[in-house]
Structure 1
């Protein structure tokens, strides 16, 4: 039985189910590097609105997870705040790590610590639409890739 079905069976409400799916995607996927969780937490018809992804769908999300772990093998993304209302979850995340990968001019060995804002819309306990805004400017400064950085 999938996590969403289990939650429905024990009587969790829609907002709690959505929050659990969102947290799972962040914890196991983005922080843990497990791309298989994307298929379990995101609907097949996912529309990804975040700039910079190669594809605006589940494959794009999997690519983003792979890219982040290549950029920073020690990356940790934590959910700092959430609001769930109806079919949406709003979240403030914290993304921390060390530029240890061979991309973006690296490895520089420099640490980054940025905020990410997310909005996800759900259908049947799975993400069907997502908007993400990572603070890439601050990240590039902290990595020394832009003037004014570390």
Structure 2
């Protein structure tokens, strides 16, 4: 398969994964290898395994019950700001938005619901193996999220 065809296939798989994420569908797990490694802000150690990644997402969905990766198009697919790839790696930027209406673990502290709506830019760099995400690097501004929730600076 040509590099261009590989990138196109992986970008479509990435879009399907985010569509599943927005729908809270179990297909989200299947879009990752069993031993996926996810690097994210605020954690020195990556999350290892698709089940552990799913549990983290469930906690996020509980804290922001209307959260989406978007903006979301009519078919439930997110619209990305930037998308590109090379070989087995793709990168996309999007906006994650939602209302903080559940407890959120932020910096090791449980933050009670604030009712505040937040929007943060997300950049994801994903490496694929056999059509599934094997490694992800997530980039977003945790300080801006904390400020938007009214919990930064700390008391």
TM-score bucket of the superposed structures, by smaller chain: 0.7 to 0.9
CA RMSD of aligned residues (A): 2.2
> Is the alpha carbon distance of 1:48 and 1:102 closer, same or farther for their aligned partners in structure 2, counting shifts above 3 Å?
closer
Match runs of 1:108-119 below 5 Å: 108-119=114-125
Q: What is the CA deviation profile of residues 52-76 of structure 1, one whole-angstrom value per residue up to 9, with x for unaligned ones?
A: 4883221222022201111100101
Match of residue 11 from structure 2 = 19
Query: Does the 8 A contact of 2:17 with 2:27 survive in 1?
Result: yes
1:101 match: secondary structure: coil
Structure 2 residue 91 is the aligned partner of structure 1 residue 90: yes
> Which runs of structure 1 show a deviation greater than 4 angstroms over 4 or more consecutive aligned residues?
none
Q: Which one of the candidate residues 117, 120, 139 is aligned to 2:126?
A: 120
Q: Is the 8 A contact 1:54 1:60 kept in 2?
A: no
Q: Which runs of 5+ in 2 are unaligned?
A: 71-79, 105-109
Q: Whose helix proportion is higher, 1 or 2? A: 1
How big is the shift at 1:50? 2.4
Find the partner of 2:23 among 11, 18, 32.
32
Candidates 25, 31, 34, aligned match of 1:41: 31
Q: Distance in 1 between matches of 2:62 and 2:46?
A: 15
Aligned partners of 1:40 and 1:49: how far apart in 2? 18
For structure 1, the 5+ residue unaligned runs are: 1-7
TM-score under structure 1 normalisation? Answer: 0.80
Contact 1:99 1:112 in 2 (8 A): yes
Deviations 1:89-144 (A, max 9, x none): 01112110110013342211011110111110111111111111121111110010
Aligned length: 136
Q: Partners of 1:61 and 1:84 in 2: how far apart? A: 23
Over 3 Å counting, the alpha-carbon distance change for 1:72 and 1:55 in structure 2 is same
Return the TM-score normalized by structure 2: 0.78
